Chain A
Amino acid sequence: QQPVQSPQAVILREGEDAVINCSSSKALYSVHWYRQKHGEAPVFLMILLKGGEQKGHDKISASFNEKKQQSSLYLTASQLSYSGTYFCGTRTTSGTYKYIFGTGTRLKVLA
């Protein structure tokens, strides 16, 4: 079953913060986060492997709560370049490497 992301869409002003959530109905083994700009391929942002793990680089970070079967992506001091659609990709089966993508969150940053 497809993970559900919230919010579906968000509009920010430059410098504002945002949180994108990804919730799964199945146990999660790992989570990928991607950003896709219109007409382009998804670009890998980060992977979280362990429950409770938190990772980040620059002003984008993420957390993974294994117990709650959730992951969150944190965007701080947003820039115009952050605009795009964000997807989580979840691995819910221990025996395979395949990822199922979430419903997506459209983010637009305004000047």
Chain B
Amino acid sequence: SAVISQKPSRDICQRGTSLTIQCQVDSQVTMMFWYRQQPGQSLTLIATANQGSEATYESGFVIDKFPISRPNLTFSTLTVSNMSPEDSSIYLCSVGQGLGTEAFFGQGTRLTVV
């Protein structure tokens, strides 16, 4: 099974600033995804992080607000830009090897914007 290290685990940020969240996997993985989870809610897919190319964003999420990088098969970052209190949430990275395989989640980043 893949071991995922997600940093930071939590942060409190001022509105208008940006935060970059890192996701490091201990082995090469095919797929990497970023999700957002509001307290007591389900997980919402933000984007698929594509290695060596632009991420694929879901409806309602744009690159200017959530730029994503994936320079190799073990690492990805999600930046939450120009933050507002509405961005307060838990952000999770998820990895998988594709069809028919398990999917794993990082421990999440609990973001509070004040």
Q: Using a CB–CB distance below 8 Å, which chain A residues touch chain B?
A: 2, 30, 32, 40-44, 47, 49, 87, 89, 96-104
Contact = CB atoms under 8 A, between A and B. Distances in A.
A41 B92 contact: yes
A30 B103 CA distance: 13
B107 A41 contact: yes
A48 to B, nearest CB: 10
Nearest to A44: B102
A97 B45 contact: no
B86 to A, nearest CB: 19
Interface in B36-93: 41-45, 48, 56, 92
A94 to B, nearest CB: 10
Contact of B42 (A43, A97, A102): A102
A32 B105 CA distance: 13
Contacts, number: 50
B103 A49 contact: no
A47 B107 contact: no
Contact of A2 (B42, B96, B99): B42
A49 B99 CA distance: 8
**DSSP majority for the A interface?**
loop
Interface of B: 30-31, 33, 35, 41-45, 48, 56, 92, 96, 98-108
B107 A97 contact: no
B107 A40 contact: yes
A101 B33 CA distance: 13
Contacts of B30: 97
A104 B99 contact: no
B99 A100 contact: no
Nearest to A49: B100
A51 to B, nearest CB: 15
A55 to B, nearest CB: 12
